[in-house]
Structures are given as structure tokens and as C-alpha cells.
Amino acid sequence: MTRALFIVDVQNDFTERGALGVVGGDQVAERVTRFLAEHAGDYRIVVASRDWHDGDNDNGGHFASGEPDFIDTWPVHCVAGTFGAEYDEGFDTSTVTHHLKKGQGRPAYSLFEGMTDDGVTAGHLLEQYGIIDIDIAGLATDYCVRASALDAIEHGRRVRVFTDLVAGVHPDSSERALAEIAHAGAVLLDSRA
């Protein structure tokens, strides 16, 4: 078995009640949980990432000092140890084998920019477990899912994105992100297919 599931940033601050809530975020959490209940055994590893930002600085300009531009600067979100940084309560993490934290003082979008509490990166996990194929789900389609999928392709892996297990900030930018991911070589499909 050489397949991994990457679950990107299914956190309170990215679901409906959060600082950067995405419409459909809670639904993604619940759908991912249902998918894992049926398919976790199909994967060698199940990796979940979280934004995990410092609360006492601007995280390398990631947190806006004034009005955020929602491109490079953002409202304060996913501060380490807060409710916003925790996984959405609809996301059952019991089958997740590896948890990565990303950010930690700097901007970070891709799951590949994160690491476990022991300092293990996604790239190291791919090598350690001989992962060739990666399926991707999570939030948000047009930012962290996009960055994670493109990085997985850059790491030479075969990538599938489950379009029913993602939600984006904006429909237009999410559509563009999925088109870009597909153009880079990923397969877009429904997890129920």
C-alpha cells in the first residue's frame, strides 16, 4: 500500500464560526469523517495539517497590521492553543496517523511546510513510507488545498483531489485553483465515485 490521505486544515477558524470561515467547512469536516470511517484502512498513512500561528507577533507579515488584503495578509487566525486552531469538532481524527503544524511564526499554506511535534515533515513521511499516491481533502480549496496539491505533484507523486471533500473561500478562485491543479497533473474526482 503506497497511498496517503492528506487532510488540510479542517480547523475551527476555517469553518463557519471561525475568523476565516469557509461556507461548507463544517460539511467538509463531517464528510471527511464519514469517508475515514469507510476508507481509512485504504491508506498507509493519514496526515492532517493545521495552521498553528504565534499569538505574539505578525507571523512574518501573515497577520495584517491594518486592513488585510486577503491575499498575503489576513485577520488573526489559528493562534496556537486557541479554539480557532483546533480541529473542527465534526472531524474525527482517531484514524489520523500524523499531525503536522504549519506556520509557527511565518506564512505557510502548503501541508508540506508543516511538521510533526517531533520535527518530521511531509516530505520525510513520503520517503519513510514509500508513498507514491496522495489523495487530498480539506480547506480551503483556493489556498492551502491548492498549495498542498501543487507541492505533492512537485514531489513527484500522483495526486487526486476529492472535490466533494473540499470547500473554498470564493467559488471563482476555487474553480481556478482546481483547474490549475488538474493542469499540473492531478486527477479531480468525487470520493464517492
- Known catalytic residue at 144: yes
Cα separation of 154 and 151, whole Å?
Answer: 5
Asked if 9 and 80 touch (Cβ cutoff 8 Å), the reply is: no
- Which among 9, 88, 142, 151 is annotated as catalytic? 9
Q: Torsion angle, CA of 103/6/121/16, rounded to 10 degrees? A: 20
- Which among 26, 135, 144, 151 is annotated as catalytic? 144
- Known catalytic residue at 13: no
Q: Which helix (H) or strand (E) holds 134?
A: strand 133-139
- Known catalytic residue at 164: no
Cα separation of 28 and 89, whole Å?
Answer: 11
Q: Which helix (H) or strand (E) holds 158?
A: strand 158-167
Pick the closest to residue 166 from 5, 42, 52, 45 (CA basis): 5
- Which among 88, 101, 102, 142 is annotated as catalytic? 102
Q: Give catalytic residue positions.
A: 9, 102, 144
